[in-house]
């Protein structure tokens, strides 16, 4: 009987450990693959992080469109109030203003999301969804994400539960007509 109880406990713990959601760490040399959708087209987009800090530098590439670089200040990552969803001009270094982020929300917005279950970004108020309708996975492992819905009902966002770099994993029905869907993090 003790053996059976031990085996059942071990199986339950193993299943729990297997089912845990993951939070990948974003660091220098991380490569993030998205599907970027805009104006009815869906194209592969790759972001390669060259450095994190002041500033965070990343190269971007969108198949069939071009490539370039983003530069995001530490202030933007800390307290930015909006994200730049539009594709930048190819072959250009796009320096984002201190109030704009790319591929993430600011740490302040994330802290509000965790503490108050709501945040404002791009002048749109979001609140945590009552139920999560999408399981976001990479390498067959579910990510630990927070699903937020625009209070005006016109957009959704799934944010990686990572206070150091709150990566946007997916957007749906974004107000400016562009959406991101995370494919992989390397």
pLDDT of residue 9: 46
Residue range(s) defining the domain that contains residue 30 = 21-185
- Lowest average pLDDT, out of 45-54, 55-64, 95-104, 123-132, goes to 123-132
Q: Residue 154 pLDDT more than 90?
A: no
Domain contains 102: yes
Q: What is the pLDDT of residue 12?
A: 45
> Measured between alpha carbons, how far is 156 from 127 in angstroms, rounded to an integer?
9
- Residue 173 within any structural domain of the chain: yes
Residue 8 covered by a domain: no
**Residue 122 has what pLDDT?**
93
pLDDT value for 2: 52
The domain total for the chain is: 1
Lowest mean pLDDT among 4-18, 43-57, 110-124: 4-18
pLDDT in tens, 58-114: 999 999 899 999 999 999 999 999 998 777 889 999 999 999 999 999 999 999 999
Residue pair 100/83 in contact (Cβ under 8 Å)? The answer is yes
Residue 56's pLDDT is 97
Report d(CA 47, CA 43) in Å as an integer. Answer: 13
């Amino acid at each position: 009987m003790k053996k059976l109880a031990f085996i059942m406990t071990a199986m339950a713990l193993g299943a729990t450990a297997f089912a845990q959601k993951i939070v990948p760490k974003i660091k220098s040399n991380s490569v993030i693959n998205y599907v970027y959708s805009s104006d009815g087209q869906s194209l592969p987009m790759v972001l390669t992080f060259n450095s994190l800090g002041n500033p965070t530098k990343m190269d971007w590439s969108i198949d069939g469109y071009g490539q370039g670089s983003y530069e995001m200040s530490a202030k933007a990552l800390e307290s930015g109030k909006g994200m730049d969803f539009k594709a930048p001009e190819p072959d250009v270094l796009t320096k984002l203003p201190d109030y704009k982020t790319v591929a993430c929300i600011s740490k302040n917005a994330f802290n509000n999301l965790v503490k108050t279950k709501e945040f404002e970004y791009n002048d749109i108020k979001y609140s945590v969804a009552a139920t999560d309708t999408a399981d976001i996975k990479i390498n067959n492992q579910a990510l630990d994400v927070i699903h937020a819905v625009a209070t005006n009902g016109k957009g959704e966002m799934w944010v990686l539960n990572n206070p150091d770099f709150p990566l946007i994993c997916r957007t749906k029905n974004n107000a400016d007509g562009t959406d991101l869907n995370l494919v992989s993090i390397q």
